[in-house]
């Protein structure tokens, strides 16, 4: 069974992102395949590399990065949603002295059209 996970919730303040993260870990333990994780709407904030939670709290950004490294799961972000919410690459930042790049290099851009094509190759799409 193969899955695409759609994350639309904020990394902190709601349970959507952490629930998606824990769901993915349990799916992996069952030997199912996660084709990709797609961050859309407010879920794009999960790709903000300028999040610094206190040391005693779970760092969701680092959790996503570790999942990608360990299990080779693509972490995809909708560029339109990201631009609307100020998640930017250096090439799109107009005043580099005031604003630094805040898009984590562990994530990649993926349009909704590309997402729709990849849906044909999976068994389930689950939104959090």
Query: CA–CA separation, 59 vs 28, rounded Å?
Result: 20
Query: CA–CA separation, 40 vs 117, rounded Å?
Result: 16
Would you please indicate which residues are annotated as catalytic (active-site) residues?
78
Residue 103 DSSP label? B
As a whole number of angstroms, the longest Cα–Cα distance in the chain is 47
């Amino acid at each position: 069974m193969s899955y695409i996970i759609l994350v639309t919730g904020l990394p902190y303040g709601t349970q959507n992102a952490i629930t998606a993260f824990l769901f993915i870990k349990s799916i992996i333990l069952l030997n199912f395949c996660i084709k990709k994780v797609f961050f859309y709407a407010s879920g794009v904030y999960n790709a903000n590399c300028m999040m610094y939670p206190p040391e005693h709290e779970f760092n969701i950004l680092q959790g996503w990065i570790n999942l990608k490294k360990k299990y080779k799961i693509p972490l995809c972000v909708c560029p339109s949603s990201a631009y609307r919410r100020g998640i930017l690459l250096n090439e799109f930042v107009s005043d580099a002295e005031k604003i630094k790049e805040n898009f984590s290099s562990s994530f990649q851009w993926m349009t909704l059209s590309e997402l729709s094509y990849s849906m044909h190759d999976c068994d389930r799409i689950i939104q959090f």
